[in-house]
Amino acid sequence: MAKIDYKKEYKDLYMPKRKPSIVDVPEMVFIMVDGRGNPNTAESYKNALEILYGLSFTIKMSKMSGTQPEGYFDYVVPPLEGLWWLEEGNFDGQNETDKDKFCWTSMIRQPAFVTEAVFEWAKESLQKKKPHIDFSAVRLATFKEGLCCQAMHVGPYDEEPETISKIEKYIEENGYVLDINSERRHHEIYLGDPRRTKPENLKTVIRHPVREKRPV
């Protein structure tokens, strides 16, 4: 059986066009780590990525030791994603300049067979290999994002405001209202590795929650 690649199986979620579009995002399972600080310098962000990739690959490679969970199938580990906000005021990805004030949830989607028991097993297995890791900020959660407007941003992260402006214009012109709040966040999906990809070639899905505009 061929590996399932979520980016290919769910192109509407992971491979949108550069022109904005509306999508209804279903419920999915994620491993999540919460934190705050500049993602370029904060040790907490570096640790979050070590945890997310460590657990994701522990689960994926369980087949090699014969400890794979019930219902296991082979798959490509989905891309890193991030929800972003500020403790005070909404984060829209355009006007925030002090990255030290960023709050974030970094996360990686998991196959449906990843239950709480599988998650706990993965933590225990990874901690044996990397006892220095602090798992206090990590959790397994279901996340249903619902109605959103999204577009593919191609280029450096610092140039995202140009794409976000297009998203906001599309929202306004097509009968929707931006719905970023304390429950619904600015969302990014990272399809390129900044360590190996030139900044001008990076691909990032930018997704903003919306709701239909109510008649006056």
> 4-211, what's its fold?
Multidrug-efflux Transporter 1 Regulator Bmrr; Chain A (3.20.80)
What is the mean pLDDT of the segment spanning 152-162? 94
**If pLDDT is split at 50, 70 and 90, which confidence band does 216 have?**
low
Average pLDDT of every residue of the chain: 93
Q: Over the stretch 62-84, which tens digit does the pLDDT of each residue have?
A: 999 888 999 999 999 999 999 99
Sequence spans of domains, the chain:
4-211
**One-letter amino acid of 66:** G
Query: What torsion do the CA atoms of 65, 66, 69, 75 make, to the nearest 10 degrees?
Result: 70
Q: Taking the model in full, what pTM does it have?
A: 0.94
Tell me the percentage of the chain whose pLDDT exceeds 90.
Answer: 83
148 has a pLDDT exceeding 80? yes
Report how far apart the first and last C-alpha atoms of the chain are (Å, whole number).
53
Under 8 Å between Cβ of 204 and 152? yes
> Rounded distance, CA 33 to CA 49, Å?
8
Of 188, 177, 34, 186, nearest to 96 by C-alpha is 186
**pLDDT at residue 108, rounded to an integer:** 98
> Which range (66-75, 93-102, 116-125, 184-193) has the least confidence?
93-102
> Rounded distance, CA 119 to CA 23, Å?
29
**pLDDT at residue 93, rounded to an integer:** 80
